[in-house]
Amino acid sequence: MGEGLARSVLGMDRGEITALVSEAGEPAYRAKQIMDAVYRQRVESLAEISTLPQEFRERLAASGVSVGAARIEKKFSSVDGTVRYLIGFGDGQSVETVWMPEGDGGEAGDGSDAGVEAESGLSTSGAEARFQIPASDAGMEGLLHPPQNRVRPGRSTICISSQVGCAVDCQFCLTALLGVKRNLTAGEIVGQVCAVLKDQQVSPPEDRINLVFMGMGEPFLNYENFIKASRLLVGGVGIAERRMTVSTAGIVPRIHDFGEEKIRPKLAISLNAPNDELRMRLMPLNKKWNLEMLMAAARDFPLRTREWITFEYVLLGGENDLPENAREVAELLRGLRCKVNLIALNPGPGIEFTTPSADRVTEFQNILRGAGIPAFVRRPRGRDIYAACGQLKRTVEVATLPELQFQAISPLAPEG
C-alpha cells in the first residue's frame, strides 16, 4: 500500500474497498468485513473492526487509511423531539443534520411505502390531527405540551446536507445567507446519516428510517457525490431508495440525468411560485432555468410504478399565498402525476417575509384539492431550535421562539 496518503473508508464503495484489500495482499472477504463494520455497525475507528487482524488494521492506519467518521460538535433538542446536529469536518467547516422522530408528513401522498405510512399517521381524529399555538402564549409556552402520537412510532426522518452553505440564494431561506463554501464528499454525506443513527441508537432496515436530501445545499449542484452517497446509503447502510427523497430548486439538466439513474431517491422540486416574474424574485435560479424549462423536465421525468413527483411550495404571507396564486399552481401542474407539499414559512433573523395565517394556508390547500391536485401541509418540526425547513444556518445560540400562531392540519382529516 502507498505510504502517507490519507484516505477515508467512509465514502468508498465495495469496489474501492475491494481494491484497498487487494492492494494490501489480504483475501477478498475482508472487503465485506470492512463494509459491514463501517456502514452497518458504524464504527468510528479501525481499532473497532474486531473482525480484521490487528496487524492488518495497523498497516492500514500506517498507510494513512482511517474510517473518516463524522464528528457531532453540538446537539440542539426541541420540545417536539426534533434534534438539530452540528456536524464538523477536518477542515473546520460544518453542516447541519436534523433528526425528526415522527417525520413531518412530507412523504404523504408520494406513492411510496413511506408515503402510505405518513398518510396513515396523518389520518388521525380531529383532536389529534390539529394543534394550536395561541398567539397569547408567550415564548415557547405553547410548545411545551404538543399532541402525542400524531404519527405511528417507529417511522423517523433524517434531513441531510449536501453542501456547506448553498449557492442557490432563495430569498426566504436562512441557509442562503451563508453562501456556499464547498461541496461535501460522498463520505461526508453518508457520515451524517451514520452519526445520527448511532446517536439515536436505531438501525435500518429493522427500524424504518426515511431520508430527505433537504438540508443545507443544492444536491444537484453536487451531483456526483450525491449520487454516490445515495448508492452507499442503499447498498451499505441499508436504507431503501423508496424511503429517500431529494429536493432540487430546479437544476434542469440534472433532473434529466437523475431520471436515468438505476438507483435513485424520489424527486421533489422546490416550486414556490406559479409564474416566472414572481419566481425570479424569490428564486434567482429561475433566470437560468425558467418555469417552462422546469415543467418540461418534470413532465419528461420517468416515474416508476406508484411514484409521484412532489412539488414543494413555501407560503410567504402576502407574496405567493393568494387564491389566484393557488389557481395558477393548479393550472401549471394540471395533468402531472404529482402532489404538492405546502410549507408555511419558518421565520428566522434576516428573513423579511412573514408566515401566513393558518386560514390562508387552508384556503390555498383547498383550492389545489378542488382542482384535483393532492395537497398536504408539512408540519413544522424544531422551529424553536432553528431546525425547520429553511432555518438551517449553523445557529449556535438558540434564542427563545417569538410568539407565533400556527395550526397544523391533517390533509386527510375533516376540516372546519
State pLDDT tens for residues 294-342.
999 999 999 999 999 999 999 999 999 999 999 999 999 999 999 999 9
Predicted local confidence at residue 2, as pLDDT: 47
Q: Which amino acid is at 382?
A: G
- Quick count: other Cβ atoms within 10 Å of Cβ 127? 9
Residue 380 vs residue 180, higher pLDDT: 180
Domain boundaries, the chain: 7-66, 71-408
Evaluate whether 315 touches 361 at the Cβ level (below 8 Å): yes
For residue 156, name the pLDDT band (cuts at 50, 70, 90): very high
Q: What is the pLDDT of residue 173?
A: 83
And the C-alpha cell for 104? Answer: 413531518
Which of 96, 102, 119, 218 does the annotation list as catalytic? 96
Q: Can you read off the three cell numbers belonging to residue 169?
A: 440564494
Architecture of domain 7-66: Orthogonal Bundle (1.10)
Q: Distance (Å, rounded) from C-alpha 254 to C-alpha 340? A: 21
Sign of CA dihedral 50, 56, 62, 65: negative
The answer to whether residue 4 scores a pLDDT higher than 60 is no
Which amino acid, residue 18? Answer: T
Q: Does the domain spanning 71-408 belong to CATH 3.30.413.10?
A: no
Whole-number Å distance between alpha carbons of 114 and 109: 9
What confidence score (pLDDT) does residue 412 get?
A: 36
Sequence-distant (≥ 6) Cβ neighbours of residue 125 within 8 angstroms: 413
355 closest CA partner among 330, 325, 380: 380
Q: Which of 73, 324, 389, 403 is catalytic?
A: 389
pLDDT for residue 105 = 62
What average pLDDT does the segment 384-403 reach?
Answer: 50
Q: Does the CA dihedral 146-245-171-174 come out positive or negative?
A: positive
pLDDT surpasses 80 at 352: yes
Q: Please identify which residue in the block is written with the cell numbers 463520505.
A: 187
Q: Is 389 a catalytic residue?
A: yes
Q: pTM of the prediction? A: 0.83
Q: Specify the DSSP element, H or E, that contains 62.
A: helix 54-62
158 closest CA partner among 191, 197, 111: 197
**29 CB contacts (<8 Å, ≥6 apart)?**
none
**C-beta atoms surrounding 79 within 10 Å:** 16
Grid cell of 247 as nine digits:
429536493
Q: Evaluate if residue 122 carries a pLDDT over 70.
A: no
**Catalytic residue list contains 96:** yes
Q: 220: which 3 cell numbers?
A: 444537484
Which residues are CB-neighbours of 136 under 8 A, at least 6 positions away? none
Give the integer Cα–Cα distance in Å for 250 and 309: 13
Q: Checking DSSP bridges between strand 180-183 and strand 163-165, what pairing results, if any?
A: antiparallel
pLDDT given at position 110: 62
Which residue, chain included where needed, has cell 443513527?
Answer: 197
Q: Distance between CA atoms of 29 and 25, rounded to whole angstroms?
A: 12
Q: Would you say residue 206 has pLDDT above 60?
A: yes
Q: For residue 335, what are the CA distances in angstroms to 145, 295, 326, 338, 368?
A: 42, 11, 16, 9, 13
Rounded Cα distance between 200 and 229, Å, is: 21
User: Which residue has cell 411550495?
Assistant: 313
| pLDDT tens profile 28-81 | 999 999 999 999 999 999 999 999 999 999 999 999 999 999 999 999 998 889
